[in-house]
Amino acid sequence: MTEYTVYVTGVNELGESGPSLLAAATTTDLYPAVMPKYKMINPLENGKPSSHIVSTAQNGRMESSALDVSAGTAWGTVDQDGASYYVKGSWDDGGFNYMGLKHGLTFEFDQAYKLDTIAFHDVTSQDTGIFFAQVRWWDEAGKEEYITYGRISLQKKRDSGNRLYYVLKLPQPVNAKKIQFGLARYAAQGNQITVSEVYFYHYDTLL
Ligand SMILES: [Ca+2]
């Protein structure tokens, strides 16, 4: 979200008046960060979320997301529409303290994919201070591994328009049939986490 403070002044033959009452207006960022598509697992298919993702889950809420008609899904995070997003009213949505199954976002793929890189941006595509991430992933047999924030690299990147997105990197590639990640801010600052778009990437040594 971008917050603008606006005021108006009136000018007549006596000169400029004082400013009116300040009014704050908030708009959704209509220019989301442009994230790399090279080796992307989940590009849109005919305008719809990729069929390589068979289910999505969240326990916060979805905003402006027409695809999320039933509670608990998170299709608006993989629809390449910057205006639809996930929001959780907490500084820590499983990125710092223990991530339970109801934290963050969970995605199930149509098959196991070898991956170690996930990119995402929040609804502002600006630096809102997301600092920690934790991951749980499941293999095809349903065996899970939990990866704490200390083993995960979370980098801030900027596109050519200087809009910010994040790149989450696992310590090594995994063969994930299902994957969950939770985010947290640094030092309990702020009380909201948003995620507008998530890109998964096939493992590639160049990424
Ligand atoms: Ca979206």
- Rounded distance between C-alpha atoms, residue 118 and residue 107, angstroms: 12
* Percent of the chain surpassing pLDDT 70: 86
22 found inside a domain: no
Decide if 152 contacts 169 (C-beta within 8 A): yes
| Residue 177 alpha carbon to ligand 1 centre in Å | 22
Q: How far is ligand 1, taken at its centre, from the CA of residue 163, in Å?
A: 16
Domain containing residue 143 = 29-201
- What is the total count of domains within the chain? 1
For residue 198, report the distance from its CA to the centre of ligand 1, in Å.
8
102 CA distance to ligand 1 centroid (A)? 20
Instruction: Say how many Å lie between the CA of residue 86 and the centre of ligand 1.
Output: 8
Strands, E, within the chain: which ranges? 2-6, 11-12, 15-16, 23-27, 53-58, 61-63, 85-88, 105-121, 130-138, 144-147, 153-158, 164-185, 193-195, 197-201
Query: Is 108 a member of any domain?
Result: yes
Q: Which CATH number is 97's domain given? A: 2.60.120.260
- Percent of the chain predicted with pLDDT > 90: 79
φ/ψ (deg, to 5) at 5: -110, 125
Q: Does 175 have pLDDT greater than 80?
A: yes
Question: Mean pLDDT, to the nearest integer, of 46-58?
Answer: 97
Ligand 1 center to 57 CA (angstroms): 14
Task: Give mean pLDDT, residues 5-16.
Answer: 46
pLDDT score of 181: 98
How close is the Cα of 48 to the center of ligand 1, in Å?
11
Residue 132 φ/ψ, nearest 5 degrees: -125, 150
Q: Does residue 87 fall inside a structural domain? A: yes
Q: How confident is the model at residue 206 (pLDDT cuts 50, 70, 90)?
A: confident
How high is the pLDDT of residue 102? Answer: 96
6 within domain boundaries: no
In a domain, 94, yes or no: yes
Q: 21 CA to middle of ligand 1, Å? A: 35
How far, in Å, is the centroid of ligand 1 from the Cα of 141?
30
Cα(139) to ligand 1 centroid in Å equals 26
Q: CA-based angle 140:144:146, to the nearest 5?
A: 145
- Kindly state whether residue 35 falls inside one of the protein's structural domains: yes
Mean pLDDT of 50-56: 98
How many other C-beta atoms are found inside a 10 Å radius of the C-beta of residue 154?
A: 20
Q: How confident is the model at residue 93 (pLDDT cuts 50, 70, 90)?
A: very high
Mean per-residue pLDDT for 129-140? 97
Report CA(122)–ligand 1 centroid distance (Å). Answer: 9
Question: 15 C-alpha vs ligand 1 centroid, how far in Å?
Answer: 48
Report the alpha-carbon distance of residue 43 to residue 63 in Å, rounded: 21
Q: Is residue 7 part of a domain?
A: no
CB 173 within 8 A of CB 119: no
Q: Is residue 100 assigned to a domain?
A: yes
| Dist CA 5 CA 9 (whole Å) | 14
Does residue 152 register a pLDDT over 80?
A: yes
Calculate how far, in angstroms, residue 165's C-alpha sits from the geometric centre of ligand 1: 13
Query: Given this model, what pLDDT does residue 189 score?
Result: 76
Alpha carbons 33 and 91: distance in angstroms, whole number:
22
Question: If you average pLDDT over residues 137-162, what whole number do you get?
Answer: 97
User: Which of 61-98 are b and which e, b meaning 16 or more Cβ less than 10 Å from the residue's Cβ?
Assistant: ebbebebbeeeebbbbbbbbbbebbbbbebbbbbbbee
Reported residue count of the chain is 207
| pLDDT for the residue numbered 26 | 45
Q: Residue 158 pLDDT > 50, yes or no?
A: yes
